[in-house]
Structure 1
Amino acid sequence: MTTNESEMSLEQRLREAMIACGDTVFTPSTSPAEAFDGLAEACRELGIEQWDVYAERGPVARLEEEVGELLGKPAAYFPSGTMAQQIALRIHADDAGSRRVAMPDLSHLLVHEDDGPRILQDLRIEHLTTGRTTPTKAHLDAIPGPLAACLVELPLRDAGCLLPTFDELAELAEACRERGVALHLDGARIWESQQWFGKPLADIAGLADTVYVSFYKGLGGLAGAALLGDDDFIAQARLWRHRMGGTLFRSTAEAVAALVGLRDRLPRIADYATWGRALAAALPAYITVQPPVPHTNTFLLYAAGDPDEVNNRLLASMSEHSLAFSRPWSATEEPGRVMTEMTVGHGALGLDPSIIAGHLAAIVD
């Protein structure tokens, strides 16, 4: 080990080792120069010759049109999903004259956004579900009183990317309509969820009043998001975007990257999930998969072990095989167990899932 390596933390060494690997189960990383070279070429391939100006015209308008056609609703571009979803819930709350909204306690808005919906939008949050449970009509029925909106995260990421069945989601949507509650889909990973539902994206989005989608997760864009809803909702959303500083002078790079993701990544996302299920089926019994049969290309792995010991074995294995097959493992609330999140990317499609399962087994055995 060199002096520089000895001074780096285990986390830093793992990060460096993953970047240095020749093969990866995940999405291969690129340098900023490579990414921007790719965007320049994409502009030529897609015939993009005009900048957007304040999210109007150019590739932003084209992106909104393509996303709207895919999901069957008018769309508005946003620089971030955090802003987009707070605006969506605020509009529903203002329209309903109620600040109460229901969402899972594991929702991204509650776990990862520093209490923004409550502090900034004065929303009153009711827990639609608690823990690793996908929302159903019964959960909505258990919340008495008026509600402005019901948020469903597709998939519920912190529960291992869990999804309801399409029929369960449709039943919940009907219950919302009967009760006068707006149904909002947190569709940050709706692209990854389509295969599970076995329906066109427009059919999934059609169950809801409003939908949020992300452009940088499964689609691999630089950043950005969109809100979808009816014409009045989109007009209000654009107004709130401007009020909250989200109408940037230019978003051309982000929009082009999203268009490339729709063109190149979206058609392959189902293959990532299929590969992930093959990996899960090949793992030994002492590695627990959550959910047991992955719903999307992202799922959780659990095993007995100490985080530092497992991560040191992971580091040695990645260095030996020049293969990034796992992210770092962390301790769980249960003593003596560790976990990691697995997100299968296009780098996996040229690899044998049974071989990757063997590497995972070796580092936690």
Structure 2
Amino acid sequence: MSSHPVRRSLFLHAPIRRRPRAMLEQMLALVDDDTPPQGPVETLERRLADLLGKESALFFPTGTMAQQVALRVHADRRGRRAFAAHPHSHLDVWEEQGYNAVHGLWFRRAGDPYELMTAQDLASVGEPLAAAVWELPQRDLGGLLPQWDDLCEQVALVRATGAATHLDGARLWEAQTYYRRPFAEIAALFDSVYVSLYKSLQGVRGAVLAADAATVAAARVWRQRLGGGIPDAWPLALAALAGLDTLLPRMPAYRDHAIAIASAVNADGLARAHPNPPQTPMFHIHLPAPRRAVEQAGESLLAEHGIQLWGRVRSGPDPDRCSFEVTIGENAMEFTPDEVVALLHDLLARTS
């Protein structure tokens, strides 16, 4: 973690707009002296159940807990222990295989790590599944999404086997800008839907799981078993409600700005933005330089100008190239496309 102060940042979760006082002021504007402690959580659950067109919704302190619980409930109900997902699934890459260590489930990777999952990939699994998981958009592929008809085909194939369909919708808010369908129509494809409260909504932390009432009732039991039934979650809920009010309506503008920046980067040609054009407010910038050299150049840029370009730099199969993720939010809206191109030139000049 850098010790240099960040004045401007392309990175969505830079500390610029996440300082406690600014966040608390937004949260306090949503309550009065008569608001009970459980009020914000109940309001959030009702609002997201309605938005996603589900019978019920349940707050969780983390998305990790919410998704593992959803899969546990689907597995217990069907008497099956396997689930399928893309090889880059957050459940496997970032959660220390908690699905297995805690719940006795196992993971079947479906498809190529560098391509979107397909119906053929799912059909090739062979083993009876408790559930299949779709991440929309696919973060590690630069925010790629399957075409709507392809997604519907995949869901229908899985449902025909008796398996549940689950949406890792941590970034569903961005995905909707591409599909341009109501959230409830997208969510209707899935038996259960997880959404993050802190990624694009810029909340403090937390998640919500939405599904039919019976699934949510079973999930509530598991939430308590895992220590997630915290009684004073109102600060997390309030921050999420503020994001729903102020940031969710901005998602189409964020996507337009992502397309403009990516277009400028690709027209310049020094670096490469992928996908081209972005499908969502998220994309990757690929750089012709090694990761460690880019990280050092980024530190130099931050120290000299107070400008942060990323949260982390990703290595790749080619040791002379690397990439970083851009998710457009209010931070990145302050940068013009031409300025981003100029910063990339400055950055790469520092790697030589």
TM-score normalized by structure 2? 0.91
RMSD after superposition = 2.0
Distance 1:363 1:176, change over 3 A: same
* 1:133 CA drift (Å): 2.0
* 1:350 CA drift (Å): 3.9
* 1:322 CA drift (Å): 4.7
| Identity rate, percent | 35
Separation (CA, whole Å) in 2 of partners of 1:26 and 1:304: 20
2:10 paired with 1:25: yes
Match of 1:63 among 36, 44, 49: 44
Separation (CA, whole Å) in 1 of partners of 2:292 and 2:129: 46
Separation (CA, whole Å) in 2 of partners of 1:348 and 1:339: 17
Separation (CA, whole Å) in 1 of partners of 2:85 and 2:306: 42
Specify the alignment match of 2:2 in structure 1: 12
Specify the alignment match of 2:250 in structure 1: 268
Specify the alignment match of 1:55 in structure 2: none
AA matched with 1:50: P
Paired residues, what number? 343
Match of 1:291 among 250, 257, 275: 275
Specify the alignment match of 1:255 in structure 2: 237
Specify the alignment match of 1:337 in structure 2: 321
Distance 1:103 1:327, change over 3 A: closer
2:203 paired with 1:215: no
Specify the alignment match of 1:51 in structure 2: 37
What does 1:102-251 align with in structure 2 at a 5 Å threshold? 102-251=84-233
Separation (CA, whole Å) in 1 of partners of 2:82 and 2:205: 30
Is the Cα contact below 8 Å between 1:290 and 1:301 reproduced in 2?
Answer: yes
Separation (CA, whole Å) in 2 of partners of 1:109 and 1:277: 29
1:172 aligned counterpart, secondary structure: helix
Separation (CA, whole Å) in 2 of partners of 1:320 and 1:124: 48
2:264 paired with 1:282: yes
* 1:70 CA drift (Å): 0.7
Provide structure 2 residue ranges, at least 5 long, that are not aligned to the other structure.
none
AA matched with 2:10: V
AA matched with 1:192: E
1:346 aligned counterpart, secondary structure: coil
* 1:355 CA drift (Å): 1.9
2:30 aligned counterpart, secondary structure: helix
Specify the alignment match of 1:364 in structure 2: 348
Instruction: Tell which deviates more after alignment, 210-219 or 143-152.
Output: 143-152
Separation (CA, whole Å) in 1 of partners of 2:208 and 2:99: 18
Specify the alignment match of 1:3 in structure 2: none
Is the Cα contact below 8 Å between 2:40 and 2:238 reproduced in 1?
Answer: yes
Distance 1:48 1:299, change over 3 A: farther
Distance 1:33 1:336, change over 3 A: same
* 1:129 CA drift (Å): 2.0
Separation (CA, whole Å) in 1 of partners of 2:176 and 2:2: 35
AA matched with 1:180: G
Is the Cα contact below 8 Å between 1:80 and 1:223 reproduced in 2?
Answer: yes
Specify the alignment match of 2:25 in structure 1: 37
* 1:292 CA drift (Å): 2.7
- Alignment deviations for residues 97-139 of structure 1 (CA, whole Å, 9 cap, x no partner): 1101111111001100011111111112111223122222222
* 1:330 CA drift (Å): 5.0
Separation (CA, whole Å) in 1 of partners of 2:300 and 2:210: 46
Separation (CA, whole Å) in 2 of partners of 1:282 and 1:351: 12
Distance 1:105 1:311, change over 3 A: closer
* 1:349 CA drift (Å): 2.6
* 1:203 CA drift (Å): 0.6
Distance 1:145 1:306, change over 3 A: closer
Is the Cα contact below 8 Å between 1:325 and 1:356 reproduced in 2?
Answer: no
